[in-house]
Amino acid sequence: MKPHKSKFSAAVAAFILAAFGFAATAFTSIAPQGLFEVTKHLEIFISVFEGVHTYYVDEPEPGSLMRVGIDAMLESLDPYTVYYPESRIEDLRFMNTGEYGGIGTMISQVDGKTTIMEVYEDYPAHKVGLRAGDVVVEVDGQGIANGLTNEEVSSFLKGQSGTTAQIVIERPGIDTPMQFAVERAQVRVKAVPFAGTLNDTTGYIFLSKFTRGSAQEVRDALVTLRDSSKIKQLVLDLRNNGGGLLRESISIVNLFVPKGEDVVYTRGKDPSKDKTYSCLNEPIAKDMPLIVLINENSASASEIVAGSLQDLDRAVVLGTESFGKGLVQQTKDMAFNTRLKVTISKYYTPSGRCIQRLDYGGKRDDTGHAVARADSLVSAFTTRSGRPVTDGRGILPDSPTELPYMSSFVEHLYADEHIFKYAVSWGVHHDSIADPLEFALSQEDLQGFLAHLEAENFTYDSEMNEIVDVLSDIAEYEGVGTVVSEELQALRSALALDHAAQLELHGEEIRSALEEEIVLHYHFADGMLAYSLKHDPLVDRALEVFGAEADALLAAP
């Protein structure tokens, strides 16, 4: 016990020095009473940690114990305040830069097997011939057992540029495993995977994230469209863009609004660190008509761009209400090469509104989750021309647009990976496909999808059937089960659509989903996005809005 105690005490001593060293530098602005509370609770935490390690019946692992404690502590705050141990620093770098050392694939678990879901064009995996649908069974002699997480397998595939990964895969349609020697490289996932034209006068740019250099990618795409394609107006698509770096969002707004214009300001605990961020350069598209597309997954930096352009009456915003994240994080260096990404402030758009939806510092619901701000606390603001906007609810589009929802049947097809799996099996018999804008599945292909569902024993139990089951239980409880049993059974029969009936009912939706996935496998992300524009009602709506309707939407009330 003595050597173990002494080793642990040394570790605790190191932790105390680190913790109180941090307190000395980070808590200088706290009043003496507040500082006492911080140091008191640090000391309590350390004493409990030491007590558990010394007296607990089993042998707890210090690192694991501390990680659980840190994660539980941060979980009581907001989901954006996150601790990164040294082993996950590379993940943090990828979030900020979009870069990592690896082979250029996205993997996931399909039927319990580590499967390549997407291959990035012109990166090592693509160059050696790896494909979507390949199952990874071995990396550098390490067998990839079922049950390993994506993070664990990714750690095998990632590595320093120039090193070689020996990868063994199983490929559908090939009886024997295949081996590839893949030289790792610096992989940078594009922030702008697609830019093109919608017609002779309208450009389109899809921005997927706000990593370092994303504003330059948008600028380059815009200049190319303006100079080569002679566009006169632009659609900037921020749907499903979860945000990223604050400064990149400001630089993107600056492409469209004048130098010196205030874009966003931040307010935090320490007033001396409050900041106002303004445009620093002359815009390159100051007068170009602009429409911004958002949805419920557009968050953070996406909302800064959409909200600022809306407040300045510089763009029409279309789509659905955005996520509502008005919090700003910074990354701080911690002891032993660890990092803490911590929420330091809230941001406000030019009208003065903060679009943060959930109140993480307020009351929680019965499950412990933060709740949305009450309607009574939502305040009204106005854009530069006097148009009404509100805080606390994300960014609301300027014009309501009825958009089709994905059917429950297709949701289940995606969730069970049948769209992906059929695209892989279809690819076994097709070496190439037509141009993305011309590609279409035949009726025979769609019948093949039905056969695939039958072979996979796919079952679909709709929510309506679940409701009937509930009604049946209630009927039994109330003693009328036998009275209504025939009616309930008839209702079940009416709702029991077979796969063929579902295909007829949701045919176009299923066709589009399959075609989009197949195009992704052959023509990568840019081809898939080019294809999807043909079937995008919000893009069609944007083309209708340009002109007189846009002018009316942006005009003073």
**Which residues does the annotation mark as catalytic?**
300, 311, 325
DSSP string, 432-472: ----TTT----HHHHHHHHHHHHHTT-----HHHHHHHHHH
122 token code pair: 């012109």
**What is the 8-class DSSP label of residue 546?**
T
- Please, are residues 194 and 530 in contact by the beta-carbon 8 Å criterion? yes
Contacts of 250 (CB under 8 A, 6+ apart): 263, 264, 277, 278, 279, 304
Residue the block writes with tokens 């994660």? 71
**What is the 8-class DSSP label of residue 145?**
-
Output 146-149 pairs: Cβ under 8 A, ≥24 positions apart.
146/112, 146/113, 147/112, 148/114
Q: How far apart are CA 491 and CA 403, in angstroms?
A: 29
Q: How far apart are CA 404 and CA 512, in angstroms?
A: 13
- CB-count exposure of residue 314 (10 Å: 0-12, 13-18, 19+): buried
> Smallest Cα–Cα separation from 134: which of 410, 424, 394?
424
Q: How far apart are CA 531 and CA 522, in angstroms?
A: 12
Backbone angles phi, psi at 554, to 5 degrees: -90, -10
How far, in whole angstroms, is CA 231 from its chain's centroid? Answer: 30
237 token code pair: 């698509």
SS3 content of the chain, % helix, strand, coil (to 5): 45, 20, 35
* Neighbour count for residue 508 (Cβ, 10 Å): 9
